[in-house]
Amino acid sequence: MKKINTFNIFLLGYNLYYIKISTIYGNTLVKKGSEPFLLHCLKSSKETLEQINWCSSVQKEMGNWINKFSKYKKESHLSKEDMEKLRGDVEKWYSIIRNESKYSFFIEEDKRMVIPNKLYSGASEFFSDRHNWEKLENQTKKDLNDACLCLLYDLPTPACMILFRALEGSLRNYYKLKCNIDEKINWGQILSSLKKYPNIDESLLNHLDYLRKNFRNPVEHPDISFSIREAENIFGMVIDTIEKLS
């Protein structure tokens, strides 16, 4: 999606209004330079919808009208049949765009460490190995995607809480696979148990203990909150650690 000035959204409404009024009063194709203004309004509306990836069916119908208008002489009137058909189409476009806009959001991009468009696409975009993502439990995938939405909408503390739930889920699965044990013990107990087994990456266990003491435990405290930058750092650490556990 291209960046778009919000003024173009205002112009979209103005252009559609002008087109509708033209069909009511039978305006001639008023020139804008060498281009009829009605044709200009259609082209501008279609371009705006393309930029924000809205309403493909409306874009297609606008394109059909643009092709048709290009065959008109520059100072001729719309035929009565075309006026009625275009008026009906504009009213239909209004309805489609209005419904589409209820479920669309514009996010102001700032100097974030994590690219908002990638967050919108989901957590799988941040895994270096797609196979590691596919191996995750469904609940862990859901938690990571929910954390992406929290970051996207500037909710850093809830994002951290969900991220550590996802990481704990991956740790429990790792413990079950490595030790063939399925028991309900906490994060610290899992690490203590894993240290007793051979061929366990000690540096990974130390890293998990660091995350537990410095981030996972504090996030549960009611007086602790995280900034968006801290949450983005934690997001990166959690994704990297989950990949190491996969």
Q: Hey, what domains does the chain have and what are their CATH numbers?
A: 6-101 (1.20.120.1130), 116-245 (1.20.120.330)
At 156-201, the pLDDT tens digits run 999 999 999 999 999 999 999 888 887 888 999 999 999 888 888 8
What is the band of 82 on the pLDDT scale with cuts at 50, 70, 90?
confident
Percent of the chain whose pLDDT exceeds 70? 87
pLDDT of residue 30: 47
Higher pLDDT: 64 or 78? It is 64
Residues 202, 91: Cα–Cα separation, whole Å: 66
